[in-house]
Amino acid sequence: MGFIDEMKAKAKANKKTIVLPESEDERTYKAAETVLKEGIANVVIVGSQEEIEKNKGSYDISGAQIVDPATSDKTAGYIAKLVELRQKKGMTEEQAREILLTNYLYYGVMMVKMKDADGMVSGACHSTADTLRPCLQILKTKPGTKLVSAFFVMCVPDCEYGENGVFVFADCGLNQNPAPEELAAIAESSAQSFRMLVGAEPKVAFLSHSSKGSAKHADVDKVVEAVKIAKEANPVRMLDGEFQLDAAIVPSVGESKAPGSPVAGHANVLVFPDLDAGNIGYKLVQRLAKAEAYGPMTQGIAAPVNDLSRGCSAEDIVGVVAITAVQAQNQ
């Protein structure tokens, strides 16, 4: 069974309610039809009946819950809660009403906040910033988490590296140039996400253009410091660095460049030194190795809200809904 099939099976075993707020996009309806047909999750679509009838085409979404912010009896409570959460920023009731009636991403996040849904998937036609802004304003960070970050689950076909070709890559979507403390936090969150989703022991590699001091540069120093911080924070976590990519995942190269390291040559969680490297890296693997790339998934938010690539397919949305449901099971 492949990774995404395992996620679907886990999601079906304890169904959660996932909000799809992008009712203007046809892919939402195609994905919703599949999610409902396969029994992966309960689906909420946010929008007016008129909008949904106009945009849904021939897809069967009869099992979905349709929530129209303009008519829902929950909206007044959401407005009051949003004013309460944002009162230090000077938000008025009128502003809150305007946001929730016109921005369905905010409405979806408020449904999650008020426990009327377990998670949300968005981003097919919105930027990462637009998707994550309401999460950070309304849901805040998970207790005990220092940083919100974004990761991809990469499933590489015919690959002997990682966990039978499955990796977590981070941060590939959110933090531009993480400081050492932030890199360490990204590594810990990514290890937890790997354990939760893949079910195997995370082996975390901090990536660089240097392997164990082979190059000298301030960028290398940053990664070395991050490894030190991460090891001090969690001495039992299997993590190491700094590694070049081949030293991290290829056993013979790892043994040569970092003899004695428990991670070198066996890594399944790859922590990139900055967003440029992470974003380029996942797209290279996705396109050249024909890998399935699920994400960017968020980690560190108080409830699961996940982003999509704007180039995603409906099948991609189905996969992310399944992953979001599994994250919700582990909240």
CATH number of the domain bearing residue 266: 3.40.50.10750
What pLDDT sits at residue 136? 86
For the chain, the C-alpha Rg in angstroms (whole number) is 21
What does the DSSP 8-state code read for residue 142? Answer: P
Question: In the structure, what pLDDT confidence band is assigned to residue 45 with cuts at 50, 70 and 90?
Answer: very high
pLDDT digits over 179-220, tens only?
999 999 999 999 999 999 999 999 999 999 999 989 999 999
The DSSP-derived string for 157-208 is: TT--STBTTEEEEESSSS-SS--HHHHHHHHHHHHHHHHHHH-S---EEEE-
CA distances from 263 to 22, 152, 207, 260 (A): 41, 20, 12, 9
- What token pair was written down for 246? 């081949």
pLDDT digits over 48-69, tens only?
989 999 988 899 999 999 999 9
Contacting residues for 28 by C-beta, under 8 A, at least 6 apart: 20, 22, 45, 124, 317
Question: In the structure, what pLDDT confidence band is assigned to residue 7 with cuts at 50, 70 and 90?
Answer: very high
What pLDDT sits at residue 124? 81
Distance between CA atoms of 299 and 139, rounded to whole angstroms?
Answer: 12
Whether residue 294 lies inside any domain: the answer is no
H runs (alpha helix) in the chain: 3-13, 26-38, 49-55, 75-85, 93-102, 104-113, 128-134, 180-198, 218-233, 245-249, 251-257, 275-288, 314-329
Number of domains within the chain: 2
- What token pair was written down for 38? 């396969």
Q: Which domain holds residue 316?
A: 3-140+302-329
Do both 192 and 264 map to the same domain? Answer: yes
Do both 7 and 47 map to the same domain? Answer: yes
Angle at 309 between CA 153 and CA 209, to 5 degrees: 55
What pLDDT sits at residue 141? 85
Range with the lowest mean pLDDT among 119-133, 151-165, 218-232, 260-274? 119-133
**Mean pLDDT score of the chain, rounded to an integer?**
93
Do both 278 and 155 map to the same domain? Answer: yes
Do both 188 and 269 map to the same domain? Answer: yes
Question: In the structure, what pLDDT confidence band is assigned to residue 1 with cuts at 50, 70 and 90?
Answer: low
Is it the case that residue 310 has pLDDT exceeding 90? no
Model confidence, pTM? 0.88
